[in-house]
Amino acid sequence: MRACKYLIALWTAAAVYALLSLLTGPMGFSAYRELISERDRQRANMEKLGLINETLENTKNSLLYDKDAISVYARELGYGEKDQLFVRIVGLGGVKRAALRPGETVRARRPEFVNDKTIKIAALSAGGAVFALFLFLDLFRRIPPF
């Protein structure tokens, strides 16, 4: 019966390994939470890109089919018709045209987690500590008092 208590050290190591793997391991809750936040970030970027795409599509369609839009756009770029005169008012600045940006690339980040090797070392250390504690207590009981 005395030797059975040393099996508690093995069970302690297994429990520590299971708990740490579940919480901080590569497939644990913390890595899953980071993947969920990354998915939400990617979805938000897709929505932004969808809005930018809609704006660019509208601009393209207006330039394809609307002659007035083409002439306004050409004037904003500094072009004019054959006998057209331009008046520049100093101090007002140029035409403030909203820049059409195509969007940005958002790369997925790798989730941060505790390496499996580190979890195994922690579990073996916990099991070893429990084993050493039981061994120390058994040796301490065998030593006769002075």
pLDDT for 145:
66
Task: Give the pLDDT of residue 4.
Answer: 83
CA 74 to centroid of chain Cα atoms: 43
pLDDT above 90 covers what percent of the chain?
A: 39
Instruction: Give CA–CA dist 74/67, Å, rounded.
Output: 11
21 CB-near residues (< 8 Å, 6+ apart): 27, 28, 116, 119
pLDDT, tens only, 57-109? 998 898 898 888 888 888 877 787 888 777 777 776 655 565 656 677 778 78
Residue-wise DSSP of 62-85: HHHH-HHHHHHHHHHTT---TT--
Asked if residues 128 and 3 have their Cβ atoms less than 8 Å apart, the reply is: no
pTM: 0.61
C-beta separation of 113 from 31 below 8 A: yes
CA pair distance 73, 67, nearest whole angstrom:
10
Burial of 23 (0-12, 13-18, 19+ CB in 10 A): middle
Residue 123 — pLDDT band, cuts 50, 70, 90? very high
Tell whether the model's pLDDT for residue 48 goes beyond 80: yes
